[in-house]
Amino acid sequence: MTAAPTGQPTAGTELPPLEIPVTRTLIVAGAIASRDYQDVHHDAELARQKGSPDVFMNILTTNGLVGRYITDHFGPTAMLRKVAIRLGVPNYPGDTMVLTGRIEAVDGDTATVRVVGANALGRHVTGTVTVTVPTQAPPSAPAPEGRS
């Protein structure tokens, strides 16, 4: 998504939800891309031996998805300042996580967004993201290569 900057954020605004299909591929790709080789994130057999019904998403992937959710919405010039998340129920393959967000506060060009990611089991993640959204595209804004 390369949504254009949406102008100034307003407290109380609900962000459109983002559905993340929690595939086995996403779990494994996210774990490896974050250099997390804990077996419970890629080896279903070992995960079962440790009492889990299947592999499950690692916290770094969840963190990355929360960050993506915010920057998808506010656009490529938005700068993440803080991402603080807390995990709840696991993200297992076959589930869908729906990320929702609400702008809690705005201070100048900086917004605080409360994010919840829920799946069929309950809340996988709750968190708060602080993001700065430049009032106008800075003149030095990169003219990025099209990345579809």
Partner 1 sequence: MSGEAGKGAVPGAGTAASTHPDALGERMERDALGVRPESDGLGERPEADALGVRLKAYEGAPAALAGAGKDPVNAPMIRHWCEAMGDTSPAYSGPDAIAPPTMLQAWTMGGLSGHEARTGAYDELLGLLDASGCTSVVATDCEQEYLRPLRPGDRVAFDSMIESVSDRKTTKLGTGYFVTTRTDVRVDGDLVGTHRFRILKYAPARRKAPAPRPRPVVNRDNAGFWQGVADRRLLVQRCTDCGTLRHPWLPGCNACGGPDWDTVEASGAGTVHSYVVMHHPPFPAFTESDQGTGTAGPYAVGLVELAEGVRMVSNVVGVPYDKVRIGLPVRVEFRTYEDTEGALVLPVFRVVEGEG
Closer of 108 and 138 to partner 1 (Cβ): 138
Integer CA distances (angstroms), 28 to 10, 22, 67, in order: 37, 10, 19
Nearest-approach distance from CB 4 to partner 1, in angstroms = 11
Span near partner 1 by CB under 8 A; candidates 4-12, 62-70, 93-101, 104-112: 62-70
Closer of 139 and 144 to partner 1 (Cβ): 144
Nearest-approach distance from CB 10 to partner 1, in angstroms = 22
Q: To 10 degrees, what angle do helices 24-33 and 59-74 make?
A: 90
- Per-residue contact flags (x/-) with partner 1 for residues 16 to 55, judged by CB under 8 A: ----x-----x--xxxxxxxxxxxxx--------xxxx--
Closest to 120 in 3D by CA, of 94, 140, 87, 143: 94
Strands 110-119, 14-22: parallel, antiparallel or unpaired by DSSP? unpaired
Among 80, 98, 106, 120, binds partner 1 (CB under 8 A): 80
Rule CB under 8 A: say whether 116 interacts with partner 1.
yes
Closest to 115 in 3D by CA, of 23, 107, 106, 104: 104
